[in-house]
Each structure stands twice: as structure tokens, then as C-alpha cells.
Amino acid sequence: MSTNTTATGRRGPRRLASAITLALGLGVLLASCKQEAPESAAPAAGDDTPAAAAPATPQVPAEAVSAEVAALSSEQLRAAASKAYQESRLYAPGGDNAMEYYLALRDKEPADAGVSSALVDLLPMTVIATEQSRDRGDFDEARRLLALIEKTDSSYPAVERLKTTIASAETDAERRAEQEQLTAEQEAQRQQQLERERLEQQRQAQEQAARELAEQQQASQESARQEAARQEAARQEAARQEAARQEAARQQAAAPAPVNRPAASATELRAISTPAPRYPPDALRSGTAGEVQVEFTVAVDGSVSAARVVRADPPRTFDREALNAVRRWRFEPVPSAVTTRRTINFSPSQ
């Protein structure tokens, strides 16, 4: 219609030019052309100006948290969120999922760091679910999930991208629907299929996400248990060494002072077996080197007793392995017990 109007608008000036050259004999035609030109020129001018597009119906933003959920108390929200989390209802169905409960709980208790942490953990999975809803054409669900993301963190990098791609996908879907002229029955079947796919996809995605979260939590708990056990073992070893040092000091104080005996006796010692100490794995991985000076007593049968750490650099890193090694040492029998000191070096390059 616009093309025909433009052509008519342009014939007016051409007829007017012809009428002028034909002079007075064509006066009637000239008058006719002058009447035709204004009538057809008006639509032509309108054709040059693009027709104003009909304003798109604005999409009402999806409600992130339903009124029913928002009306619950903090205790009810916390219990409902925990149950939904355990049952893999992380972000769906609407009105009964962990994310909505946590968002409502955060509104009531904004200082709760655990709630904020849970929401941060759920964001990546909700973004994936939003993209999947968009890709299968379930735009209501996509906008509902987007509202959850935006309420959780409006500055989250994926928010603007999802808004743009959902709007673009919805426009494309509407265009395709107009082109294909889907019948009411076909559309109903398509929506039913979409709903089945959405429920199945969400079920699988939420189960997988729940498994991954459970594995992460289990790994974190196991790491915490190992760290606590390591610290307890270190505490017990330190207490044992301290008790050993105190006992050695007590025995040394109770024993008669040797008369220039240690130096001479130490030179008489002949080792039979002095196995090297085991290198502590943590020190080996970090490349830590050091030395431990150990004082011990060689009994008349050549066995070692009363081993204690005199000096260690760095402290408590190599003490245990140095003592374990010295206790396994064996010497040739001596006439009487000899107390001596040896320095054991630890180097990762050895």
C-alpha cells in the first residue's frame, strides 16, 4: 500500500510539468492535475516517514518471592529452606524452593552470613536453569528464575545478558509462531511437552546440583576433620616431648654427676647400625631443611634409651623423625652406659 501511494504522489508533479508545456489548450487537464497532486502528495509524505511501531506490551517482571513465602516467619523460612535444599528443590517449583525461602529469610535477617553464602552457591545453577528455560521457549519460567537471580544479586554478571537473550528469544519465538500459524491443539501439545521437558530437566539438574553440593560439603568436612586430627596429633606429640624432657631432666638431676666421663665415653662408641630418619612429607613437599641435636644414652648392650631433643631448627618440624631414628640405633657394647649428643641434618636434596 505504501508503494502505490508513493507512486501516485510522484505522478502529480510530472502531470503538472506536462500541462505547463501544453499551454492554454490543456487548461482543464492542468486543473485536474493540480487537484490530484495535493491529494496524492499527502500520503507520499507519510510514506517517507516510518510508521510508528505499535508499542510492545511491557512484560510484567516476575515476582521473585511469593506473598505466601514472604509472610512466613524466620523460623518457618529457615526450616522450609533446609527441607527444600535436602529434597533438591533448589530453585523450583515456584513458591516452594530453597532460593525463595532464603531470599525471604535474607529480607528478614540481612546480617545472616549463612543465608547469603547459600544464595551465592545456588546462583550458578539457577543461571543454567534460566538459560535452559529460555532455550526451550519457556519464557515465563525463565523470567521467574531471572527474578530470583536479580533479587539475589542485581549486579551479577549474567543478569543483563539473560534479560537481553530472553527478550530476543521471546521475540524470535513470537515471530516463528506467527509464521507457522500454530493451531490451538498444536500449541497445547507443545506446551504440554515443554512442561514435561521442563519438569524432567529441572528434576535432573537439581538432583545433579544437590549431589555436587553434597560432595563439596563432604570434602570440606573431611578436610576440616583431617586438619583437626593433625592439630590434635601435633598437640599430643608436643605434650609427649615436653613430658619426656621433664622426665630426662628429673633423671639427670637425680643421677650423680659424671666425672669427665661423657666426652671420653662418647669417643669410645662404635656404631653398628644408624638408620637414617624418615623425611617428614610436609617438610619434603615444602622443601624445608633443618637439623636436630639429640641427646641419648647408650646402654651397656649398645641399645639406645632416654633420647630427647636438645635443639631443633626449625622447632618441632623434624623432632619426631629424629627421635624415632635414634631409638633404632645400635652400638657395640660398652663397659658402662654413655650419654652423648648427635646432630642429625635434614635436607630435601639428600
> Where does a domain end: 125, 147, 181?
181
Over 50: is that where the pLDDT of 113 sits? Answer: yes
Same domain for 95 and 29, yes or no, is no
Residue 77 included in any domain? yes
Residue 290 contacts residue 312 (beta carbons within 8 Å): yes
Same domain for 90 and 9, yes or no, is no
What phi, psi does 156 have (nearest 5°)? -60, 135
Grid coordinates of 232: 590434635
CATH number at residue 278: 3.30.2420.10
> What is the Cα–Cα distance from 344 to 329, expressed in whole angstroms?
13
Each residue of 161-179: pLDDT tens digit? 999 999 999 999 999 999 9
Residue 343 contacts residue 295 (beta carbons within 8 Å): no
Residue 213 included in any domain? no
Same domain for 301 and 341, yes or no, is yes
Each residue of 29-70: pLDDT tens digit? 333 434 443 343 334 444 444 444 444 444 545 789 999 999
> Where does a domain end: 117, 148, 181?
181
Range of the domain at 328: 264-346
Over 90: is that where the pLDDT of 28 sits? Answer: no
Dihedral sign computed on CA atoms, order 146, 147, 148, 151: positive
Residue 292 contacts residue 318 (beta carbons within 8 Å): yes
Give me the pLDDT at residue 17, please.
37
Same domain for 109 and 165, yes or no, is yes
Residue 20 contacts residue 3 (beta carbons within 8 Å): no
Same domain for 143 and 84, yes or no, is yes
Grid coordinates of 135: 532455550
Number of structural domains found in the chain: 3
| Mean of per-residue pLDDT scores for the chain | 82
Each residue of 215-269: pLDDT tens digit? 998 888 998 889 988 899 888 988 888 888 787 767 766 654 443 444 345 668 9
Residue 187 included in any domain? no
Residue 319 included in any domain? yes
Residue 148 included in any domain? yes
Same domain for 119 and 172, yes or no, is yes
Grid coordinates of 50: 516510518
Q: Which of 245, 253, 239 is nearest to 295 (CA)?
A: 245
Same domain for 278 and 336, yes or no, is yes
291 has which bridge partners? 313, 345
Same domain for 133 and 176, yes or no, is yes
Give me the pLDDT at residue 161, please.
97
